[in-house]
């Protein structure tokens, strides 16, 4: 398997680009003309053209939903160093805080199962610490999407010995266009910039003790795919089924007027001035329509694909039928387990990145602390409320009721300040206490 090619396919499905934008991901029928023998007969090209702007991108929405759970409680990051505070506020020298940068990074990582983080350093050197702070001349984070990788070597510890990326230098002005395709290279000692003929254009020591391109992987290896990566294939199946259903509806679902006639004769029939259809004989004209079974088959297939995407993405919001509490509970357990594992790997990656930053700045590694939320007790709130109602109908348990209400409030208001939650807990205790006194 060529993983770089797979990463690109997943990226196109996730972003709605490439073959999902121009229709080239649609499979050509064996008997479908493509204009190769007759330029005027290009049924496949016409179908691709008709598919533009019609790709239903469920992949992106599934990843966004998952990411919303992941960052519902923002990771805790603390430092007393002014240089590190500047990086927290602007992680990539583009004005994005670490929270924003890592949230976007996590989306691409979840879609592919793999993503890369480069800790880079500015070429301009500061004269003193004040200038370093004011001009933000400190290490910064760069997201390097895995599909841009060209060549690499992995060592025995699962890190890069070296890695190269395709890139473009844009020196254009308003009057002139000036771009150059290049290759960026990083190893354990230096960075280099090559042209496409492998001539070195620039080079320098990065100052880190290891390759500054860090690997995030759900499965621990660069050459791997994540659990959401199969959504790309499902997206392609749905894209094709939608196109084929559209072709079927256009080509076979129109009505045809039929007129009975004796052999060797033709009926007298015309449209009158009052828009009435006049005919002669004992058999009136009628319409026939195609069988809807084929269209129904496609609709069922599309629905089945969407349900498969829901299962892959732990999406219980689109459950079609009523399920038992046990079945829903198992689904939420799967989601919570996935979130916990993903958050642990994301925290490890960010800690490695901050270690490189501290190394570059000559600071102790404990100058910044990173803590991700690992407690994802996501539940079905409606089911929890039903359980509470059922218990109340059986027995009067004030303590149980109070603690259950606190758990429901904690899940519904996850991410709120501790002071606000403590106030709500006090309100619950007071309310339950008053109800018990009245009874």
Q: What is the per-residue pLDDT across 182-198, written as a single tens digit (0 to 9) for each?
A: 999 999 999 999 999 99
Residue the block writes with tokens 């398997």: 1
CA 146, CA 109: separation in Å to the nearest integer?
9
Cα 293 versus chain centre, distance: 34
Q: Is the pLDDT of residue 435 over 90?
A: no
pLDDT of residue 324: 52
Q: How confident is the model at residue 386 (pLDDT cuts 50, 70, 90)?
A: low
The three-class DSSP label of residue 166 is strand
State the average pLDDT over residues 396-424: 77
How many residues make up the chain in this entry?
A: 439
Q: Which of 436, 307, 315 is nearest to 61 (CA)?
A: 315
| Contact (CB, 8 A) for 340 and 370 | no
Q: Is the pLDDT of residue 357 over 80?
A: yes
pLDDT of residue 168: 93
**Higher model confidence: residue 419 or residue 290?**
419
Q: How confident is the model at residue 418 (pLDDT cuts 50, 70, 90)?
A: confident
What residues does each domain of the chain span?
A: 255-288, 352-438
Least confident stretch, 1-10, 44-53, 96-105, 248-257: 248-257
Burial 316-341 (b: 16+ CB within 10 A, else e): beeeeeeeeeeebeebbeebbebbee
Cα 385 versus chain centre, distance: 31
CA 301, CA 296: separation in Å to the nearest integer?
9
Rounded to the nearest integer, the mean pLDDT of the chain is: 86
Q: What is the per-residue pLDDT across 216-234, written as a single tens digit (0 to 9) for each?
A: 999 999 999 999 999 999 9
Q: Is the pLDDT of residue 286 over 90?
A: no
C-alpha angle with apex 382: 56 to 433, nearest 5 degrees?
150
Q: Is the pLDDT of residue 133 over 90?
A: no
The three-class DSSP label of residue 289 is coil
The three-class DSSP label of residue 79 is strand
Q: What is the DSSP letter of 138?
A: S
Q: Which of 223, 220, 214 is nearest to 345 (CA)?
A: 220
Q: Is the pLDDT of residue 436 over 80?
A: no
Integer CA distances (angstroms), 190 to 62, 147, 158, in order: 39, 22, 19
**DSSP H helices in 172-318:** 230-252, 293-312
pLDDT of residue 381: 60
pLDDT of residue 380: 58
pLDDT of residue 205: 94
pLDDT of residue 328: 62
pLDDT of residue 408: 75
pLDDT of residue 378: 63
State the average pLDDT over residues 280-297: 78
Q: What is the per-residue pLDDT across 326-336, written as a single tens digit (0 to 9) for each?
A: 556 667 788 88
Q: Is the pLDDT of residue 393 over 80?
A: no
Q: Is the pLDDT of residue 235 over 70?
A: yes
Listed ranges 12-16, 119-123, 136-140; the one with the highest mean pLDDT: 12-16
Q: How many CB atoms lie within 10 A of CB 347?
A: 17
Q: How confident is the model at residue 377 (pLDDT cuts 50, 70, 90)?
A: low
Q: What is the DSSP string of 6-22?
A: HHHHHHHHHHT-THHHH
What totals of helices (H) and strands (E) does the chain contain, helices first?
13, 14
pLDDT of residue 79: 94
pLDDT of residue 130: 84
**Higher model confidence: residue 200 or residue 318?**
200
pLDDT of residue 3: 94
State the average pLDDT over residues 154-162: 94
Q: What is the per-residue pLDDT across 300-328, written as a single tens digit (0 to 9) for each?
A: 999 999 999 999 998 876 544 455 555 56
C-alpha angle with apex 354: 350 to 357, nearest 5 degrees?
145
């Amino acid at each position: 398997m060529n993983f770089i090619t797979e990463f690109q396919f997943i990226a196109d499905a996730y972003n709605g680009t490439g073959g999902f934008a121009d229709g080239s991901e649609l499979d050509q029928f064996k008997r479908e003309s493509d204009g190769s023998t007759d330029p005027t007969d290009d049924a496949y090209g016409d179908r691709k053209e008709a598919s533009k702007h019609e790709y239903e991108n469920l992949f992106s929405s599934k990843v966004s939903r998952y990411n919303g759970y992941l960052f519902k409680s923002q990771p805790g990051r603390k430092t007393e160093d002014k240089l590190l505070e500047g990086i927290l506020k602007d992680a990539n020298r583009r004005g994005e805080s670490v929270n924003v940068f890592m949230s976007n990074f996590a989306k691409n990582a979840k879609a592919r199962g793999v993503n890369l983080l480069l800790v880079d350093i500015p070429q301009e050197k500061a004269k003193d610490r004040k200038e370093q702070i004011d001009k933000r001349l400190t290490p910064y984070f760069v997201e390097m999407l895995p599909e841009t990788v060209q060549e690499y070597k992995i060592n025995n510890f699962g890190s890069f010995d070296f890695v190269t990326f395709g890139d473009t230098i844009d020196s254009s002005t308003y009057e002139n266009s000036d771009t150059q395709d290049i290759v960026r290279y990083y190893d354990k000692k230096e960075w280099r910039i090559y042209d496409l003929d492998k001539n070195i254009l620039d080079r320098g020591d990065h100052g880190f003790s290891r390759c500054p391109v860090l690997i995030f992987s759900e499965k621990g290896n660069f050459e791997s795919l994540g659990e959401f990566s199969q959504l790309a294939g499902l997206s392609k199946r749905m894209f094709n089924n939608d196109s084929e259903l559209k072709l079927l509806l256009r080509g076979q679902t129109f009505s045809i007027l039929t007129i009975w006639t004796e052999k060797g004769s033709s009926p007298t029939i015309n449209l009158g001035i009052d828009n009435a259809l006049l005919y002669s004989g004992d058999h009136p004209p009628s319409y026939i329509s195609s069988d809807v079974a084929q269209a129904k088959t496609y609709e069922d297939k599309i629905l089945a694909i969407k349900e498969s995407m829901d299962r892959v993405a732990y999406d219980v919001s689109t459950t079609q039928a009523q399920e038992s509490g046990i079945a829903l509970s198992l689904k939420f357990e799967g989601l919570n387990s996935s979130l916990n594992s993903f958050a642990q790997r994301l925290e490890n990656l960010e800690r490695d990145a901050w270690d490189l930053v501290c190394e570059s700045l000559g600071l102790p590694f404990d100058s910044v602390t990173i803590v991700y939320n690992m407690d994802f007790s996501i539940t079905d709130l409606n089911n929890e409320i039903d359980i509470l109602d059922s218990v109340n109908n059986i027995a009067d348990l004030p303590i149980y009721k109070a603690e259950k209400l606190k758990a429901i409030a904690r899940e519904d208001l996850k991410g709120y300040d501790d002071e606000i939650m403590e106030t709500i807990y006090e309100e619950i205790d007071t309310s339950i206490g008053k109800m018990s006194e009245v009874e």
